[in-house]
């Protein structure tokens, strides 16, 4: 899936010389011709530096690209991405995801209209593919042989797929017993080496950061600024789909906060490129049992305390989000909001999304649950123009669906649940079971 197999490494290195990263803590800048996990001076988080000598025109997006890049909902925004050499790019035509406008879900949220951009339509069924295509392409450009992540499941599935496509070895650290079967099976299928850590996600990430500092292994977690560059394209594509009519608010779930950070950077870049003249507010929604960023926000960004995370939404079960300073910057710049929702609110919102025929995994439903809460609390007016992001596909966590519909938390049948029934293989039994429907 590499685009130009025969372009030489030397040319790739030359192309990389123009790409720079800068530390958001101390301002030190560096070339991006090596893995870029953290600032070499102070250990701070890095941003990819993009500068625009002149305003970009909207019709420059997607223009003059080879078909494989034009087909990608990430690489078609190439003027708004780091200038990685074409020879290094590994793409699976990621992105190009729909926005659903469903009246029932708008009513559920208490809004007149609500868009839900569904990132579960990506090749490995979560938004992670958008960041992964850029992260793995940068890894190839710098000559990495082994790529690695710690993951609550979706990053590992995406990393495993893109590493396989690129012909790189992949290593994945996951918290043992704490990721869904669907995500684990994707990661196994695509051939990553999987190490289950007897601890939580935060411990797995700490271990991996130590490993990648000591050995030549390329870290692809969202501390890596190239991942975030790809994830920016959720916002680019969303705005393009709205004909650049900027919404009042974009809501998304927050775990490790890479996506919140990426959305903030996307808006900065669009602003600097002259493509928008107004910013939407960002709203990051955390699960109540995994909400250190919401507490930090509530303190006026004065006191930050990591927590031991607990939530049914395993994808956002993170107690010490690595991108916290970047996410704070994004919320501050957009006059954004951070709120929490309970597991019950998440599952209720998920059931509504599923029943609308759309479906998503539990963490994704935090977007809708959070918007509903913001409306109820008066922080968001019913006529506000809002787009929520659904981050992963319903099949990512099939157990969560079946468990929800089989019984409630006390083991009792859940009212309104869609319980499959069992019958002997006989027509009479089928008619008895369907009596209501057959006889009106
Ligand atoms: C489905 C899903 N939603 C939301 C998130 C949270 O994204 P972030 O860690 O960038 O805050 C994740 C992260 O793993 C995820 O897999
Ligand atoms: Zn620094």
User: The tokens of 435 are what?
Assistant: 């009596």
Q: How far is the CA of 39 from the centre of ligand 2 (A)?
A: 5
The ligand whose atoms approach the alpha carbon of 122 most closely is 1
316 CA to centre of ligand 1 in angstroms: 6
Which atom of ligand 1 is nearest to 126's Cα?
Answer: 1
Between the CA of 262 and the centroid of ligand 1 the distance, in Å, is 12
CA of 31 to the centre of ligand 2 (A): 14
Q: How far is CA 426 from CA 248, 422, 423, 435, in A?
A: 56, 11, 8, 14
Query: In the prediction, which pLDDT does 119 show?
Result: 98
Residue nearest to atom 6 of ligand 1 (CA): 255
Contact present, 168 and 144 (Cβ < 8 Å): yes
Residue 392, pLDDT > 80, answer yes
Phi/psi of residue 282, nearest 5 degrees: -95, 140
Among 363, 388, 389, say which to mutate for ligand 1: greatest number of ligand atoms within 8 Å of CB: 363
Give the long-range contacts of residues 276-280, CB within 8 A, separation 24 or more: 276/239, 276/244, 276/246, 278/246, 279/246, 279/333, 279/334, 279/335, 280/246, 280/247, 280/248, 280/249, 280/250, 280/334
Instruction: Report, as an integer, the average pLDDT of 210-234.
Output: 96
Rounded CA gap, 375 and 389, in Å? 17
Q: What is the pLDDT at residue 169?
A: 98
**223 CA distance to ligand 1 middle (Å):** 13
Distance 44 CA to ligand 2 centre (A): 5
Tell me which residue has its CA closest to atom 14 in ligand 1: 315
- Find the 44 Cα to ligand 1 centroid distance in Å: 21
Long-range contacts at 49-55 (CB < 8 A, ≥ 24 apart)? 49/20, 49/21, 49/22, 50/80, 50/81, 50/82, 50/269, 50/272, 51/272, 52/272, 52/273, 52/274, 55/273, 55/274, 55/275
Average pLDDT score over the chain: 95
Give φ, ψ of 309 to 5 degrees: -80, 145
Q: What is the pLDDT of residue 57?
A: 95
How many angstroms does the Cα of residue 253 sit away from the middle of ligand 1?
7
Q: What is the secondary structure of 168-221 as a DSSP string?
A: -EEEEEEETT-S-HHHHHHHHHTT-EEEEESS-HHHHHHHHHHHHHHSS-EE-S
Q: What are the C-alpha distances in Å from 114 to residues 37, 105, 194, 197, 386?
A: 37, 7, 39, 40, 5
Task: Provide the pLDDT for residue 126.
Answer: 98
User: Which of the ligands is closest to the CA of residue 42?
Assistant: 2
Q: Which ligand is nearest to the CA of 29?
A: 2
Residue 156 pLDDT level (bands cut at 50, 70, 90) = very high
Average pLDDT in the 410-434 region? 92
pLDDT confidence tier of residue 13, bands split at 50, 70 and 90: low
- At 286, is the secondary structure helix, strand, or coil? strand
Instruction: Look at the pTM and tell me if it is higher than 0.75.
Output: yes
Nearest ligand for residue 41 CA = 2
Question: CA-CA distance, 164 to 158, in Å (whole number)?
Answer: 10
Tell which one of 290, 338, 391, 396 to mutate to probe ligand 1, the residue whose CB is within 8 A of the most ligand atoms. Answer: 391
Which is higher by pLDDT, 185 or 413? 185
Q: Give distance in angstroms: CA of 141 to centre of ligand 1.
A: 26
Ligand 1 atom with the shortest distance to the CA of 361: 1
Q: Average the pLDDT over each of 10-19, 73-82, 361-370, 373-382 and give the range with the smallest value.
A: 10-19
Q: Please state, for a pLDDT cut of 90, what percent of the chain lies above it.
A: 90
- Cα 142 from Cα 79, distance rounded (Å): 21
Ligand 1 atom nearest the C-alpha of 155 is 14
Residues at CB less than 6 angstroms from ligand 1: 126, 152, 154-155, 222, 253-260, 315-316, 361, 363-364, 391-392
Contacts of 63 (CB under 8 A, 6+ apart): none
| 262 CA: nearest ligand 1 atom | 10
53-103: pLDDT as tens digits: 999 999 999 999 999 999 999 999 999 999 999 999 999 999 999 999 999
132 confidence band (pLDDT: 50, 70, 90)? very high
SS percent in the chain: helix, strand, coil, step 5: 45, 15, 40
pLDDT over threshold 50, residue 5: no
Which ligand neighbours the alpha carbon of 130 most closely?
1
């Amino acid at each position: 899936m590499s685009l130009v197999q025969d372009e030489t490494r030397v040319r790739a290195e030359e192309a990389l010389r123009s790409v720079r990263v800068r530390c958001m803590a101390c301002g030190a800048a560096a070339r991006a011709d090596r893995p870029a996990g953290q600032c070499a001076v102070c250990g701070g988080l890095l941003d990819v530096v993009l500068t625009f000598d002149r305003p970009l025109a909207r019709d420059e997006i997607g223009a003059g690209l080879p078909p494989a890049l034009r087909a990608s909902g990430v690489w078609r925004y190439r003027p708004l991405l780091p200038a990685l050499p074409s020879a290094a790019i590994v793409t699976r035509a990621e992105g190009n995801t729909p926005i659903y406008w469903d009246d029932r879900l708008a009513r559920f949220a208490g809004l007149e209209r609500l868009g839900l951009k569904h990132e579960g339509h990506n090749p490995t069924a979560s938004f992670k593919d958008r960041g992964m295509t850029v992260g793995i392409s940068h890894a190839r450009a710098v000559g990495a042989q082994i790529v690695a992540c710690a993951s609550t499941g979706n990053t590992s599935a995406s990393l495993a797929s893109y590493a396989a496509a690129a012909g790189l070895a992949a290593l994945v650290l996951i918290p043992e017993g704490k990721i869904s079967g669907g995500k684990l099976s994707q990661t196994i299928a695509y051939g990553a080496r999987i190490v289950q850590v007897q601890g939580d996600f935060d411990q797995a990430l700490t271990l991996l950061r130590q490993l990648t500092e000591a050995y030549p292994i390329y870290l692809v977690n969202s501390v890596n600024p190239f991942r975030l560059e790809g994830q920016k394209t959720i916002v680019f594509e969303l705005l393009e789909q709205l004909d650049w009519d900027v919404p009042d608010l974009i809501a998304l779930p927050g775990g490790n906060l890479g996506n919140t950070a990426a959305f903030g950077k996307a808006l900065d870049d669009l602003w600097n490129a002259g493509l928008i003249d107004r910013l939407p507010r960002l709203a990051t929604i955390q699960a109540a049992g995994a909400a250190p960023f919401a507490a930090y926000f509530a303190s006026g960004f004065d006191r930050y305390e990591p927590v031991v995370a607990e939530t049914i939404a395993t994808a956002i079960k993170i107690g010490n989000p690595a991108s916290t300073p970047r996410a704070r910057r994004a919320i501050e710049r957009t006059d954004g909001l951070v709120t929490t929702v309970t597991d019950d609110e998440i599952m209720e919102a998920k059931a509504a999304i599923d029943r609308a025929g759309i479906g998503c995994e539990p963490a994704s439903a935090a977007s809708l649950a959070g918007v509903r809460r913001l409306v109820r609390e008066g922080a968001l007016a019913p006529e506000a123009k809002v787009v929520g992001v659904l981050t992963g596909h319903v099949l990512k966590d099939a157990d969560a669906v079946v468990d929800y519909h089989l019984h409630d938390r006390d083991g009792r049948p859940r009212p309104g649940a869609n319980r499959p029934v069992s019958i002997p293989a006989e027509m009479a039994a089928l008619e008895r079971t369907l009596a209501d429907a057959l006889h009106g």
